[in-house]
Amino acid sequence: MNARRPALGLALSGWFAAATVWAFPADGSNVAVSYVPYRFAPTEQWHTSAAGNLGATRLEDRLWTFDFVQGAEWIALGLPDRTLLSRVGKIRLRVRGSAKGHPVHVFLHSHFMTFHKVVGELADRGEQELVFDAPPGPGWEWFGGENDGKLHGPLRLGGFRLEANGLKDSSKLELISVTVDGECPRDKLCILTADVRPDPDRVGFVARLRSLADAPLRGTLSWVIRDWDREEIGRGQRNVILPLPTQELVVDTPAPRFPARLKFAEAEFDLSVPGQTVPKVQACWVAPPVAYDDPDLRPESPFGMGIYLNRFDGDDRERVAMKARDTGVKWSREDFSWDEIETQRGEYRWEFHDRLLDCARRNGITVYAIVAGWPSWTKAYTSEGVDDYVAFLRVLVGRYKDRIKQWEIWNEPNIFFWDGPKDLYAELLIKSYRAIKEVDSAAEVLGISTAGIDFKFIERMLAKQTPFDVLTIHPYRKVLDDQTFIDDLKKVSDLVKLPDGRPRPVWLTEMGWATHVPHHVLGQDFQPNPQRVQAELIARSYLCSFVSGVEPRTFWYDFRNDGDDPFYFEHNMGIVHRDLRPKPAYQAYATLARVLKGMKLDGPVEAGAGNFAYRFVPAQGGAAEVIAVWNPKSDAAVELKVDTKRAVLINMIGEEREVKTRAAKGPGDSRVLRLKLNQGAPVYVRLIRDAAK
């Protein structure tokens, strides 16, 4: 337990072990660093696994007992994803004990790609150290993702594996540490992250400061707290001393008392250290959301989400599904992976997905299935493999045709998720379409499923006369230019019209932005965004898809963060944290789903140059009316022509206030509503009819 000094609000914890700056390259721009990211402490969540019978294998504190007596092929140590700091040059594994005759394999990850290498043996009986160069380089194999042997962002340690190598023995190893030797720009030795205080009864924020320098660094940490409308509600400053990398500095920042109406507060931290460049970071407090609580299936709803209940089971799955229901999610994209269901030819495991569908139904969530993945027993990326896939698809659709009506054929076949001839995917889609319709004529086939809006790949598939009922796309982009996005959706919708001119729906089955902290040295494929910006992006991307006219279901990627690593973007795509605490994007989604529930697009509204405004009216008739207004590029003053004396303004985070409209100049009974927009943040105007008083 870390000691806290209440008078200063500071604490030190042992995130790093001893580190030194041991050399300066000739150009002086970088420094060499060495630090210990792992000491095999229980808090690091190491675990052991095996191919075959584990026997007496176990991990107790730092003592690893490995047992090959029962014939295991290999025994491994794994751990949760954590990004390694600096550029990694060498890695050192220190243990005490012998594993003679068992080659040591190491695995490291870079985005979707895994690097693998045999790095030697632990043959001595005393304390010893295996030292090896980090990838890429001689001796490294790689697989997955881009599969090109290059680093795509920072490295993450995947774990170590002992190979049986024909031996049936057992022994013990005392695990001591993993050390990283690397280099870092001399002006990027400091790392800053922030979060809300873990105590829900004491609202506040926590900043965490680290340094890779060989001496304590002095600086100033300042912060400002703002509400959703960017009004300042608190600020502070503190002189700090960043300790050696044996420790982490934790600054506990109390927040002022928030007014009862407040649903959001953002603390922005700025660390100033002479000679260092440290990006500002933000932490967001979100008020407990009001439950949407609609347990009925509503397949007509456009509000989808990549919940991926298939990544959870039991109580964890139920908690995730309930949280999604409470924010208004009515659809989920779920993996029905072939290799996980038909593990051997003709042998099926249904229980897991049966439970998944039961869970979704209890929470009012309609599931559509994506079917992908080659099992080991077929011939991947061959016509024979395609026929096996189609045979499996017939069985799958037959089992679930009363519960699933939409089937997506593979994921992103235009990039590395399909590692075979692209025209073979056309064969897969043609045969799959025929098989699904023969089993369930009412089913819809979702096809092509491109990463991005890959017009060339879509045209290539159309030239092969691939049949599909719904085009699915994943229109990720670094920056959301709203008008370009709307135009792109209309363009791709026109591209896939049926020969008789009728449109086909276009579903956005993945789209999202991450909220990770930028790595202090290496960039990643996804740009980091403050949580406030992610909230703005989720609202605008759904609104753009609705007003584009492409009949969409839109599925954000994804609902729950995939991990706890603050630096890895794949861990930070969700709208709730790993522990299910809501991010601002959760509130933004819930507000949009609540405001537009049961509504349909009526058309654009004049709001002045640069502003977007669209009217929504009840799908089943009625007097209610909502206008969504936003400006993606600048703050703006907007004047809307309306026909009511009163309106309710609902900001993106769900805070409401009633306002009066004013009589317009000139003849007639028209009125105007003036409102201010903050850049990128939609506002919803609910008009109050006199009859509804």
Q: Find the mean pLDDT for residues 313-323.
A: 96
Whether 302 has a pLDDT exceeding 80, the answer reads yes
Q: Please count the CA atoms within 13 angstroms of the CA of 656 that sit on its side-chain side.
A: 11
Specify the residue for token string 């206008």: 627
Pick the CATH number of 4-14+186-286 from 3.40.50.150, 3.40.50.300, 2.60.40.10, 2.40.50.140: 2.60.40.10
Average pLDDT of the chain? 92
Q: How far is the CA of 357 from the CAs of 34, 101, 229, 636, 692, in angstroms?
A: 49, 48, 40, 45, 40
Spatial separation of the C-alpha atoms in residues 43 and 34, rounded to whole Å? 22
Q: Find the mean pLDDT for residues 163-177.
A: 97
Whether 1 has a pLDDT exceeding 50, the answer reads no
**Residues sharing a CB contact under 8 Å with residue 151, sequence separation 6 or more, in sequence order:** 110, 135, 136, 522
DSSP per residue over 417-454, as a string?
TS-S-HHHHHHHHHHHHHHHHHH-TT-EEEEEEEEB--
Q: How confident is the model at residue 684 (pLDDT cuts 50, 70, 90)?
A: very high
Give the start-to-end residue ranges of the domains of the chain. Answer: 4-14+186-286, 25-184, 305-597, 600-692
Q: How confident is the model at residue 18 (pLDDT cuts 50, 70, 90)?
A: very low
Sheet holding 47-51, edge to edge: 47-51, 74-78, 156-163, 104-110, 113-120, 141-143
Residue-wise pLDDT tens digits, 399-414: 999 999 999 999 999 9
DSSP bridge partners of 612: 630
Percentage of residues of the chain with pLDDT beyond 70 = 95
**Domain 600-692 = CATH 3.10.180.10:** no
Q: Which CATH superfamily is domain 25-184 in?
A: Galactose-binding domain-like (2.60.120.260)
Picking from 201-205, 313-317, 602-606, 609-613, which range would have the lowest pLDDT averaged per residue?
201-205
Whether 464 has a pLDDT exceeding 70, the answer reads yes
Residue-wise pLDDT tens digits, 95-151: 999 999 999 999 999 988 999 999 999 998 899 999 999 999 999 999 998 899 999
Quickly count: other Cβ atoms within 10 Å of residue 74's Cβ.
18
Q: Find the mean pLDDT for residues 185-191.
A: 95
Residue 12 is predicted with a pLDDT of 33
CB 240 within 8 A of CB 278: no
Q: Do the bridges between strand 342-344 and strand 190-196 make them parallel or antiparallel, or are there none, so unpaired? A: unpaired
Specify the residue for token string 């492409």: 550
**Residues sharing a CB contact under 8 Å with residue 458, sequence separation 6 or more, in sequence order:** 448, 450, 471, 492, 495, 496
Whether 88 has a pLDDT exceeding 50, the answer reads yes
Residue-wise pLDDT tens digits, 347-400: 999 999 999 999 999 999 999 999 999 999 999 999 999 999 999 999 999 999
Helix (H) or strand (E) holding 10: strand 10-13
Domains 4-14+186-286 and 600-692 share a fold: yes
**Residues sharing a CB contact under 8 Å with residue 195, sequence separation 6 or more, in sequence order:** 205, 206, 208, 283
3-state SS record for 306-321: CCCHHHCCHHHHHHHH
Q: How confident is the model at residue 598 (pLDDT cuts 50, 70, 90)?
A: very high
Residue-wise pLDDT tens digits, 333-348: 999 999 999 999 999 9
Q: How confident is the model at residue 292 (pLDDT cuts 50, 70, 90)?
A: confident
- Tokens, residue 307: 């919940």
- Tokens, residue 235: 């600020």
Spatial separation of the C-alpha atoms in residues 138 and 410, rounded to whole Å? 34
Residue 352 is predicted with a pLDDT of 97
Residue 23 is predicted with a pLDDT of 36
DSSP per residue over 129-172, as a string?
EEEEEPSSSTT-EEESTT-SSS--SS-EEEEEEEE-TT---EEE
What 3-state class would DSSP assign to 47?
Answer: strand
- Tokens, residue 455: 């017009």
What torsion do the CA atoms of 226, 229, 230, 234 make, to the nearest 10 degrees? -30
Q: How confident is the model at residue 485 (pLDDT cuts 50, 70, 90)?
A: very high
Spatial separation of the C-alpha atoms in residues 108 and 562, rounded to whole Å? 18
Spatial separation of the C-alpha atoms in residues 188 and 235, rounded to whole Å? 26
Q: Do the bridges between strand 612-618 and strand 599-604 make them parallel or antiparallel, or are there none, so unpaired? A: antiparallel
Q: Where are the beta strands (DSSP E) in 164-315?
A: 170-185, 190-196, 204-211, 217-226, 232-242, 248-254, 264-272, 281-286, 303-305
Q: Could you check whether the bond before residue 136 is cis, i.e. omega within 30 degrees of 0? A: yes
Residue 28 is predicted with a pLDDT of 57
Helices (H) and strands (E) in the chain, counts: 9, 41
Pick the CATH number of 305-597 from 3.40.50.150, 3.20.20.80, 3.40.50.2300, 3.40.309.10: 3.20.20.80
Residue 22 is predicted with a pLDDT of 34
CB 413 within 8 A of CB 370: no
**Bigger pLDDT: 382 or 622?**
382
CB 529 within 8 A of CB 537: yes
Residue-wise pLDDT tens digits, 212-250: 998 899 999 999 999 999 999 999 999 999 988 768 899
Percentage of residues of the chain with pLDDT beyond 90 = 85
